[in-house]
Amino acid sequence: MPRPVFAVLVRGPSMAPTLRHGDALLVRRGGRPVRPGDVVVATFRSRPDLLVVKRAVRAQDGGWWVRGDNDLVTDDSRAYGVADVRGRVLARYWPRPRRIGYRPV
């Protein structure tokens, strides 16, 4: 059975300025439902091997349309389509601990 809380490491600039390359995050499976504006960990249906950290934009086709906060990087639903959310980001625990909250989209 998977653990309810797990850790991920941010790679790349797609979530800047909210998150940066090298940030370590705590992610929760389950809990309250994902809503637009949440930062999530997801896999694209077209790229199930690729685990990404993105912002949930809208529910679509039983999954989520997700986008990075950095509009110059397009490795999100604009390129890969609908994603399945694996968990919601709770906090960054390294290098500067802080909660990662909801942001309207």
Q: Does a structural domain hold residue 34? A: yes
CATH number of the domain where residue 34 is located:
2.10.109.10
* 10 occurs within a structural domain: yes
CA distance 35 to 91: 16
pLDDT in tens, 63-79: 999 999 999 998 999 99
Q: Is residue 104 part of a domain?
A: no
21 within domain boundaries? yes
The per-residue pLDDT for range 23-51, each reduced to its tens digit, is 999 999 998 999 999 999 999 999 999 99
Q: Is residue 76 part of a domain?
A: yes
Q: What is the gyration radius of the CA atoms in the chain, in angstroms?
A: 12
Q: Rounded to two decimals, what is the model's pTM?
A: 0.92
Q: E strands of the chain, at which residues?
A: 5-9, 24-28, 39-44, 47-60, 63-67, 83-94, 98-99
In a domain? residue 105: no
Report the distance separating Cα 78 and Cα 87, nearest Å: 20
Could you list the residue range(s) of the whole structural domain that residue 51 is in? 5-99
Q: How many domains does the chain have?
A: 1
